[in-house]
Structure 1
């Protein structure tokens, strides 16, 4: 089965979503808004409104729309997972509206889950943006580190790096010192080196001590703190990494910070556009499902 000449897809996160309209295998229009799954109560109404605006077309929905805060809970597909497994796990709302399942894994006694990222990961491979065997990082509130094997998701780890930074910035002893914008400068690079020691709790309190003693100005504290968290996250993934290139699926801002952290470990970072990866992934699903 091949995808229709036109269809819609929604990358539906917790706080935001992005709508794509595809025609003849290409994205012809995309828009982002703040109608994330956590703010929606009438998903059927939202889907109808999307069709009214973007076209009365078949639709694939991915991300948190299939979670406990979404339209309905769609069971996870276990790793190893590729496009075929996602298609088999589609939850059809009606004959032209389906929710893409998330992916789960369990290794070493630790369970992990993702929703939405799986479309980007598989799309990056399907679109020849990354090799079929690779380590991919998806920075964000919860950073995903996925090992791709033979073009499928073989396993992954989630790190709460972005959420920890937000919590420190909003509710911790350090909050008043972490108001500046994060930039890739000397303070951030110093933070990367500190984070690589992976004594995270002590390193973070050191930010407070440096402020009190005047060792580091508060203007640099946010960049240093971000460096500590990202540096610890990246260093932990490099311990048993067999790849010299690390592919980073992200927008340039956050992607560049992770690229600096990867480069500091001696690996080569390669930034991949996450929106293009999602588009390629949902196209591959649509080719088999619609």
Structure 2
């Protein structure tokens, strides 16, 4: 397969682009022109700048992420789950000459209202690279996905990363703290606490009280809080961990290490796929089809 195509990961705060010839990446570029940082430029103008000299004729462009949201270029409708993996690449939204946006996924039930945009593309790649029944996708908003070889059945979102940031930077929990340091023992202690008592609302102020009273080093508050929140997340998502399903963790290196440690603590082995690797494999599978 020798066709050229362009893959774009266009989020809220940045944009990454790759030019491919078949399976070979010829060049990559990145920009801080996320969909919330266009500075008065149109999405079409930003895309033209980022892909300058890349588009020979109507070279296909396939994009994923917040570019397809209600604050992006054009809304790419959410596909309701259960959804076949193949449906993701079959229901693209056109925004120009051979320029497409990948749809997101949604759940809308009385017991679960959820959306994802961008992670569905990682799922496509992870499904190929490391098939599983449960995919855990840490980040600002961690996704827990139930799937089989053919379909995505359900998913939930846990705001662990954002909550950690807000508490540490914008609440009394982190007020006046010095520069934080890595501390595996503090993370492990927090994880054990969160796993044992996942109803963390009543424990959050204790994090501040602990460093005020000197029982938690002030430089290790971030680590303890991270462990507490991840422990609570893993405990609260225990329904996804029933039985012996294969679990694949899709994340960057730092979060992979942290979540691996958490899963090992509860006696569960997990396979891992780098988030970027999964994303590129997923978007390339769609771009291949578009280019041919």
Identify whether the pair has TM-score above 0.5, normalized to the shorter chain. yes
Cα distance in 2 for partners of 1:17, 1:183 equals 30
2:188 aligned with 1:186? no
Worse-superposed segment, 191-200 or 83-92: 83-92
Partner of 2:7: 9
Correspondence list, 1:188-203, <5 A = 188-196=187-195, 197-203=197-203
Query: Aligned pair in 2 of structure 1 residues 73, 231: CA closer, same or farther (>3 Å)?
Result: same
Query: TM-score scaled by structure 1?
Result: 0.91
1:149 matched residue in structure 2: 148
2:216 aligned partner: 216
* Match in the other structure for 1:176: 175
Residues 148, 75 of structure 1: CA spacing in aligned structure 2 closer, same or farther, 3 A cutoff? same
CA distance 1:212–1:15, change in 2 (3 Å): same
Q: Give the Å deviation of 1:180.
A: 3.8
- Equivalent of 1:26, from 19, 24, 45? 24
SS at match of 2:287: helix
Count matched residues.
285
Structure 1 residue 254 corresponds to structure 2 residue 263: no
Moved more, 257-266 or 82-91: 82-91
CA RMSD of aligned residues (A): 1.9
Residues 6-85 of structure 1 mapped to structure 2, 5 A cutoff: 6-40=4-38, 41-56=41-56, 57-85=59-87
- Aligned in 2, Cα 1:20/1:226: closer, same or farther, shift over 3 Å? same
- Separation in structure 1 between the aligned mates of residue 98 and residue 43 of structure 2, nearest angstrom: 15
Deviation at 1:182, TM superposition (A): 5.8
Instruction: Note the residue ranges of structure 1 that are not aligned, 5 or more in a row.
Output: none
Cα deviation per residue 1:243-285 (whole Å; 9 max; x = unaligned)? 4542111111111111111111111122211111111111221
Is it true that 1:279 corresponds to 2:280 in the alignment?
Answer: yes
